[in-house]
């Protein structure tokens, strides 16, 4: 084994450095990104090492043993105890160190429109405006890197079998992810960050649909004119039937030449996909 050396900062709470985990993978690129996972078809190996402390050179990594599932379970349990317990609100569906999922009910909210190239024939949205419009029920799935947003077919707490719809909010890409722009991202993934995530979606200015987003609704006029109609007539309910099912497959949004659409994604499938 090659020589290893490292420098560590003192930790709070009386903790001392006791162990190290080394990860190995084949076909590593010359300049791998930090914490890069192995390729799906690659091989990986991990070893667990004890740390030796001495007065002269500081802590060093000693010889190790293969990392086992038992080791992983023990460390996972210990790390989980470091997270403070939280009382979960009724709208939270999943609360995990790496993912937070919740839903919001349908409601009328102020919407912020400032279209860069307004289509001809607009009424309420032809100029920069803040106007109340109805939103359908929404599902939020936040991870440490992304926020994904979907509309829900019914105004009730979703289950694993609930089919997801494309969100009609203009700042959402067709793959469900939020276009952050210059919006500040929340620094935590706890329940306390839910209002910040919701403000990022509902309280930001809508300037244009993202590529392909006009095709996420059925009927005449497209997405922008749908919002314009809702704002102009002061509607109180969003026409959920006009939203297309979400299948994470852009071919489903194409017109006549598209292949048959994939099966609509369910909430259970979306959560399972986030934990792989």
- 58-67, 81-90, 131-140: lowest mean pLDDT where? 81-90
β-pair type (107-113, 205-206): parallel
pLDDT of residue 58: 74
pLDDT of residue 86: 76
- 66-75, 102-111, 175-184: lowest mean pLDDT where? 66-75
Kindly state the average pLDDT of the residues 250-263: 52
* Cβ count near 267 (within 10 Å): 22
Q: pLDDT digit string (tens) for 115-173?
A: 998 888 899 999 999 999 999 999 999 998 899 999 999 999 999 999 999 999 998 99
What phi and psi values does residue 140 have, to the nearest 5 degrees? -115, 135
The pLDDT mean for the chain works out to 84
- When pLDDT is cut at 50, 70 and 90, the band that residue 258 belongs to is very low
Check pLDDT > 60 for residue 195: yes
Check pLDDT > 80 for residue 213: yes
pLDDT of residue 255: 46
């Amino acid at each position: 084994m090659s020589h290893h050396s490292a420098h560590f900062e003192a930790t709070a709470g009386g903790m001392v450095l006791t162990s190290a985990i080394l990860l190995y993978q084949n076909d590593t690129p010359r300049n791998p990104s930090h914490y890069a996972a192995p390729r799906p078809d690659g091989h990986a190996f991990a070893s667990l090492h004890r740390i030796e402390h001495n007065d002269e050179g500081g802590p060093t990594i000693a010889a190790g043993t293969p990392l086992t599932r038992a080791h992983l379970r023990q460390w996972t349990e210990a790390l989980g105890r470091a997270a403070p317990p939280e009382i979960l609100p009724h709208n939270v569906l999943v609360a995990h160190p790496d993912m937070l999922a919740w839903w919001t009910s349908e409601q009328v909210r102020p919407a912020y429109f400032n279209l860069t190239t307004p289509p001809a024939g607009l009424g309420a949205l032809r100029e920069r405006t803040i106007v109340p419009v109805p939103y359908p029920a929404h599902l939020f799935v936040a991870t440490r890197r992304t926020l994904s947003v979907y509309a829900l077919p019914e105004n009730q707490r979703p289950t694993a079998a609930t089919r997801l719809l494309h969100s009609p909010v203009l700042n959402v890409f067709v793959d469900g992810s939020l276009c952050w722009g210059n919006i500040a991202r929340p620094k935590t993934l706890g329940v306390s960050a839910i209002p910040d995530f919701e403000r990022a979606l509902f309280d930001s200015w809508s300037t244009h649909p993202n590529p392909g987003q006009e095709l996420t609704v059925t009927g005449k006029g497209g997405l922008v004119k749908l919002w314009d109609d809702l704002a102009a007539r002061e509607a109180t309910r969003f026409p959920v039937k006009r939203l297309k099912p979400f299948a994470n497959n852009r071919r489903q949004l194409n017109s006549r030449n598209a292949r048959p659409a994939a099966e609509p994604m369910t909430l259970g499938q979306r959560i399972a996909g986030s934990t792989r």
